[in-house]
Amino acid sequence: MADNLFEAKYDITKKSKLKVFYESNKILIYLIITVTIIFLGSLSYYIESKAKKRILLSESYIESRIYLENGKKEEALNILKNVILANDPAYSSLSFFMVLDHNLINDHNEINILFDHLLENNKFDEEIKNLLLYKKALYNSTHLDELKLLEEIKPLLNKKESVWKAHALLLLGDYFISKKENYKAKDFYSQILSINNLQRDLYDQAKSQLLLISND
């Protein structure tokens, strides 16, 4: 009986303490609950909004392809520009590559502005970013002098694992051949042959260019 009495008193004391704690902290408790509800609601809204945005971008991208297939380049370009500026890691880069592949913009400066916008405003997968760096160097290679081209492509040359490093080296080799500086080209082609797990076609291109230089 004494044990039951003790348990009853303990239970009453515990409830009293809980009540006192609640009364003393109810504003804080309400605030925490309210903030949590708002946060969860905002998170849910953000996720839903992001999903809707990607669906709209996907539809716009498909629409631009249809315009291109029907020869309506201006309409396609207007849509693609909007998708590029939407800063989506997937559809923005795909849209920009379409602009490049179909030569929809002739203004050299405008293309470089879009390159820089993509690189500065998106959190790309590392290899997508490397592809953009390579394409930018390739696009500008006929307009840049040696030092500026090397500066443009340097981030790729410093990569150990990127699949685009060999492409960058091949670009530099071809660049120096075009400048009739075969001794410099030879160095870049040789670096390609030393890369592990290299694509066969890149190996063959570098090997072929080295043989061409040697026979000159």
- Listing DSSP states for 98-125 in one string gives HHHHTT----HHHHHHHHHHHHHH----
> Phi-psi bin for 210: left (phi > 0), alpha (psi -120 to 50), beta?
alpha
| pLDDT score, position 122 | 79
Quick one: average pLDDT of 96-124? 92
Give the confidence band of 168 by pLDDT, cuts at 50, 70, 90.
Answer: very high
Contacts of residue 198, defined as CB under 8 A and 6 or more positions apart, other chains included, come to 166, 192
Give the confidence band of 31 by pLDDT, cuts at 50, 70, 90.
Answer: low
Task: Give me 11's structure tokens.
Answer: 């239970």
12, 84, 169 from 210: Cα distances, Å: 91, 39, 13
| pLDDT score, position 149 | 92
Quick one: average pLDDT of 164-192? 92
Indicate the pTM of the whole model. 0.72
Query: Is pLDDT above 90 for 213?
Result: no
Amino acid at position 192, single letter: I
The closest of 125, 54, 63 to 91, measured between CA atoms, is 54
What does the alpha-carbon distance between residue 91 and residue 55 come to, in Å, rounded to a whole number?
10
Contacts of residue 176, defined as CB under 8 A and 6 or more positions apart, other chains included, come to 146, 182, 184, 185, 188
Quick one: average pLDDT of 23-41? 54
Burial of 196 (0-12, 13-18, 19+ CB in 10 A): exposed
Contacts of residue 21, defined as CB under 8 A and 6 or more positions apart, other chains included, come to none
Quick one: average pLDDT of 34-46? 53
Lowest mean pLDDT among 14-23, 45-54, 70-79, 193-202: 14-23
57, 59, 98, 101, 134 from 87: Cα distances, Å: 10, 16, 16, 20, 20
What does the alpha-carbon distance between residue 183 and residue 189 come to, in Å, rounded to a whole number?
10
Buried/exposed 23-36: b ≥16 CB within 10 Å, e otherwise: eeeeeeeeeeeeee
